[in-house]
Structure 1
Amino acid sequence: MATMAERVDEVLRAGKAPGFHGLVVMRGGDVVLERYGAGVDHCLGESLGHVEFDRDTLHDIRSVSKSVVGLLYGIALGEGLVPEPGAGLVEQFPQYPDLVGDPERAHLTIEHALTMTLGLDWNEDAPYTSPANSEIAMELAPDRYRYVLERPVVEEAGKRWLYSGGASALIGGIIARGTGRPLEEYAATALFEPLGVTEFQWMKGDDGLAMAAAGVRLRPVDLAAIGQLVLDGGRGIVPGEWIQEMLRPRITIRDAFKYGYQWYVDISERHQVAGHGNGGQHVVVMPEEELVVAITAGEYDQEAVSSRAVIDAVLVRE
């Protein structure tokens, strides 16, 4: 039977992954496979032209940023800097007394943001180049937090998962307020530096605030290191209790595909937890197989066939 490397190389050689940019696979804590490609890339919609990728090339991880935010909240919680998930959500933003005092929003908790079950009007089905997309509208708004918090209440919170970059933005704001530091600065000292990540970027909106929902740029090898940190139970960087809570399936997306706290949880036969991002950005953690897969690609705002083809080649049982 072909080895993992042979399978991946065949996919790349056959042109089945035309948008492929980078792959790092770790097993048992060691890097066992690394591959890099070349192609046109973007940084949050701004063209970078043709890029020859290697181990040191930073790459958008897009919405995998949300999973990073989930880790940061857990670190800050362990340090006593942010409230428990059951705490009221709107009251964490006292700069909006009208919203804090709105009885229609009093039931919202931080957990509703962590699980994307806010019950507020939100739609990210439109392209991420259009203000019809709620995340883009949030970025264009004069105040991102008010924009999210004042969305109309359309259903009971906690009942239905609805993809929301706004929910992640609120968590990022709570972390920044609780730590007294910009999100990207707290991330550097609380997570990235202890993990050995020496270079990263966290893109900011026009308001100067880190884009919690999609702004992180990392090397694929460092994205894999984040997956390994989760597989290892936090290694004292993130409290182990939080890793367990974060990865507990809390709301059903469809069938065996669930959501925890800013992480996807697949409870099918090959149990896995993951962060997924637009364009084919993924970190997949398979605890029972001690396997971590990090992949980057450039198929933004389209079906990510390249990353799917490569991941399928990696995950064939040997």
Structure 2
Amino acid sequence: MKPFLPLLLLISLLSANAQDKWPTQAWPKNSPEKLNLNPDSLAALDRDFAAGKYGNVDGMLIIRHGQIAYEASYSHNYAELYKQEAVEKGGLNATDPTGPYNYFSAWWHPFYHGGKLHTLQSVSKTITSMIIGVAVTRKEFPDLDTPVLSFFDTTAVKNIDARKRRMTIRHLLTMTAGFDWHEDLPYSDPNNSCSQLEASFDWVKFTIDFPMSDEPGKVFNYNSGATVLLAHIFRVATGRDIEEYAVKHLFEPLGINNHFWKRSPYGLVDSEGGVYLEKSDVAKLFYLFLKNGKWEGRQIISTDWVQQSVSPYSKFGPNRGYGYKWWLGAYGNKASEVTWGGNGFGGQFPIIIPEYDMVVVFNAWNVLPGAESRNYNPNFLTQKVLNAVVEYQQKKK
């Protein structure tokens, strides 16, 4: 894996090269050409999406230098597409078939009640990390090395051993909690630990009772339950609901006035996959990180938290890393060429490309087994967007 550019250097590059534009009220728009992008390349990708080449893509948004360069939305009849699956019990429809955890219900997915708010699925984890970053910046959240069990009545927790006692908030943030969790199975498989979590009543108890398999901090193991525990810890530590806190201290300052956030049957915010937003508002959250946590001159999230979040706590695969619920991907030959992004089930991919001062957002709803093989993934989408930059440069020669 090629080294990641030290983040402080990246931040200095961004501060030197980017002109701050604040889309609090609305994103300004400009032509691709004026933003140094080839419109023909973006239009070709638009046509491929519209033709269904990459499955059920719902929308894309390309932002450069704080301005919308290209935006498109696509319509699909999900009630008809997933009509049969919506009434058949399985890993993606394990509870009430009319409820919010039937992933084939067109009333709930991918758009909330048929409106404009699109499910973000596990991008909700990245947003949860952002909210914690706000609380840390405001000095209203515990030290990340605080043991997780200090927020529980340990007499009611199962499978406690020395490893579980050593598990900290930081381990939950970095997917290194050490639980014997199995989310590597397809989500349509009822044996997937996350599918079992969402079919349970008390998600916090379901997760904290899980037995341990590894020493915390040693092994990356993707675990949606870990983010559920963060919502619980947030409520216990701050006395505030994490959604309520987000609205006041994150959403409203950015001009995000419309959202929906699912809750577990027990009432806790679904921090692992429950956020719905319009793609333009998703872009605001990620633009905040591109701008090092600052918005209209106000430091919403500290630069230190941004740096920690997008530093690779774990490295795996040829060019990938993971920070505080941020996916990191190296895409070029230079150490600075690293994307920061979220990754949600069905094809939710907001991506920051710091080197090019870009934020891009893609939404889709490819949820049937095998749909992920359509070559619609963050690496592919990043390259497609950057092709527009390269082709513009070649065109100008």
Aligned CA distance change for structure 1 residues 221 and 306 (closer, same or farther; 3 Å):
farther
Partner of 1:143: 202
Partner of 1:47: 105
Greater share of strand residues, 1 or 2? 1
Contact 1:175–1:183 (CA under 8 A) maintained in structure 2? yes
Residue among 346, 355, 360 paired with 1:293: 360
Partner of 1:17: 54
Identity of aligned residues (%): 30
**1:47 partner SS:** coil
Q: Which residue identity lines up with residue 105 of structure 2 in the other structure? A: S
Partner of 2:176: 117
**How does the TM-score come out when normalised to structure 2?**
0.73
Partner of 1:157: 216
**Where in structure 1 are there 5+ consecutive unaligned residues?**
none
Residue among 53, 64, 78 paired with 2:137: 78
Residue among 254, 257, 262 paired with 2:325: 262
Aligned CA distance change for structure 1 residues 280 and 304 (closer, same or farther; 3 Å):
farther
Partner of 2:374: 305
Moved more, 290-299 or 177-186: 177-186
Whether 2:170 is the aligned partner of 1:107: answer: no
Rounded to whole Å, the distance in 1 between the matches of 2:122 and 2:320 is 17
Rounded to whole Å, the distance in 1 between the matches of 2:237 and 2:185 is 33
Q: Which residue identity lines up with residue 245 of structure 1 in the other structure? A: Q
User: What are the residue-to-residue correspondences of 1:118-267 with 2, within 5 Å?
Assistant: 118-235=177-294, 236-267=299-330
**Where in structure 2 are there 5+ consecutive unaligned residues?**
1-37, 80-99, 392-397
User: What are the residue-to-residue correspondences of 1:275-286 with 2, within 5 Å?
Assistant: 275-286=342-353
Rounded to whole Å, the distance in 1 between the matches of 2:351 and 2:292 is 15
Aligned CA distance change for structure 1 residues 204 and 52 (closer, same or farther; 3 Å):
closer
Deviation at 1:312?
Answer: 4.3
Contact 2:231–2:268 (CA under 8 A) maintained in structure 1? no
Rounded to whole Å, the distance in 2 between the matches of 1:77 and 1:315 is 34
Whether 2:385 is the aligned partner of 1:314: answer: yes
Residue among 45, 51, 69 paired with 1:32: 69
Contact 1:148–1:167 (CA under 8 A) maintained in structure 2? yes
Whether 2:119 is the aligned partner of 1:60: answer: yes
Contact 2:163–2:214 (CA under 8 A) maintained in structure 1? no
**2:144 partner SS:** coil
**1:278 partner SS:** coil
Contact 1:11–1:310 (CA under 8 A) maintained in structure 2? no
Deviation at 1:138?
Answer: 2.1
Rounded to whole Å, the distance in 1 between the matches of 2:50 and 2:313 is 40
Contact 2:163–2:215 (CA under 8 A) maintained in structure 1? no
Q: Which residue identity lines up with residue 119 of structure 1 in the other structure? A: G
Can you list the C-alpha shifts for 1:52-71, whole angstroms capped at 9, x where unaligned? 99xx7110010000000110
Rounded to whole Å, the distance in 2 between the matches of 1:41 and 1:178 is 40
Aligned CA distance change for structure 1 residues 304 and 22 (closer, same or farther; 3 Å):
farther
Q: Which residue identity lines up with residue 96 of structure 1 in the other structure? A: T
Q: Which residue identity lines up with residue 48 of structure 1 in the other structure? A: A
Deviation at 1:10?
Answer: 3.3
Rounded to whole Å, the distance in 2 between the matches of 1:104 and 1:223 is 36
Can you list the C-alpha shifts for 1:5-43, whole angstroms capped at 9, x where unaligned? 323233235441331101111101111111000114486
Rounded to whole Å, the distance in 1 between the matches of 2:62 and 2:110 is 22
Aligned CA distance change for structure 1 residues 142 and 19 (closer, same or farther; 3 Å):
closer
Rounded to whole Å, the distance in 2 between the matches of 1:106 and 1:139 is 25
**How does the TM-score come out when normalised to structure 1?**
0.90
Q: Which residue identity lines up with residue 226 of structure 2 in the other structure? A: A
**Deviation above 6 Å: which 4+ runs of structure 1?**
49-53
Deviation at 1:214?
Answer: 0.4
Q: RMSD value over aligned CA atoms? A: 2.5
